[in-house]
Amino acid sequence: MRIRIVDAFTDRPFSGNPAGVLLLTGAQAFPDDTWLQNVALEVNHAETAFAHPLPEGAEADWALRWFTPATEVAMCGHATLATAHVLHTTGAHEGPVRFATRSGVLVATPAGDGSVTLDFPTAPLTRVDPPDGLAEALGTDPLTVLDTGPNVGDLLVEVADEKTVHGLAPDLKALAAHSERGVIATARAEDPARGYDFVSRCFFPNVGIDEDPVTGSAHTALAPFWSERLGRAGLTGLQASARSGRVRTELRGDRTLLTGSAVTVIEGDLLA
């Protein structure tokens, strides 16, 4: 079968967040979980997406699952964007595509400029006290700490400023003790004239990802947090990893729209 590596939330190769994508065309079910996990480990990117078409009349068009090199996850934005990009650029699906996932039915809608908008559930945010040791693990004092709910599974941590976000060098082993998946560190943009409203970095040691380059699911928590602070439903976030990428967000109550582009950089045959 064909396997592709797609850079998501970017319009340039070798930036954004790379994901493996396998379309299991003609499949009636997913292969054995061990095989799926082994492929994801072999690809060794933050996520590998596996999708197969569903029969006419089903609740969705394609079934979709996501695996890190270490485990399956409940929700992934960049690998969903990458999968939608492959479906549309190869002609495997036209127009909006509905994905049946562990997080419910997620819809990806392509635009004429090549971007894709994802319709994801908004993360429920609950303010919590900073856990003991979090400041030491992260390397800075948190201003605000919120739990992001079961689909995202992170702590959302507001820090002093954008410079602090860029300079973080956390103790990842210590950080792993504080949440199910990891920690989202964020701050308001120093200069919105640069084209983004807030900045973030995401550290996910509990799923085998030290730092994720650009995280769609994290923006389902970042969008409501910053929309309330900044008083606007539509925002742009910069994820300030080494590869970097931007996510346009629009808060619609219990749903969040995430918009970005993608580029296929590698295509080949999976022989195993």
Question: Which residues are designated catalytic?
Answer: 47
- Rounded to 5°, angle at Cα 93 from 234 and 101: 65
Radius of gyration of the chain measured on its C-alpha atoms: 18
Count of CB atoms within 10 A of residue 101's CB?
Answer: 20
Can you point out the beta strands (E) in the chain? 2-8, 17-23, 47-53, 62-67, 72-73, 97-101, 104-110, 116-121, 126-127, 144-147, 154-158, 182-188, 198-204, 209-212, 234-239, 245-252, 255-260, 262-269
30: exposed, middle or buried (C-beta count within 10 Å: 0-12, 13-18, 19+)?
Answer: middle
